[in-house]
Amino acid sequence: MPALLEIKNVVKNYDGKTPVLEGVSLELNRGEVIVLIGPSGCGKSTLLRCINGLEAIQGGEICLEGKAIDYNKKDLTGLRQKIGMVFQSYELFPHMTILDNIILAPTKVAGVNKERAKKEAMELLNKVGLAHKAKAYPRELSGGQKQRVAIVRALAMHPEILLFDEVTAALDPEMVREVLDVMLDLAKQGSTMIIVTHEMQFAEAVADRVYFLDKGNIVETGRPKSFFSAPKTERARQFLNIFEFESIKDEKEEYNI
Average pLDDT by consecutive 10-residue portion of the chain (257 residues)?
Answer: 92 85 96 96 95 92 91 75 92 96 95 96 97 98 96 96 94 90 95 96 94 96 94 94 54 34
Domain boundaries, the chain: 5-254
Element (H, E) at 59: strand 59-64
Query: How many Cα atoms are found within 13 Å in the side-chain-facing hemisphere of 205?
Result: 14
H helix count then E strand count, the chain? 9, 10
Instruction: Give the CATH superfamily of 5-254.
Output: P-loop containing nucleotide triphosphate hydrolases (3.40.50.300)
Residue 249: per-residue pLDDT: 39
pTM as predicted: 0.91
Nearest alpha-carbon partner for 87 in 157, 21, 171: 171
Residue 74: per-residue pLDDT: 64
Beta-carbon count within 10 A of 31 CB = 13
Q: Which strands sit side by side in the sheet containing 161-165, from one edge to the other? A: 83-86, 161-165, 193-196, 33-37, 209-214, 217-222
Q: Which strands sit side by side in the sheet containing 59-64, from one edge to the other? A: 19-28, 5-13, 59-64, 67-68
SS3 state at 200: helix
Residue 2: per-residue pLDDT: 80
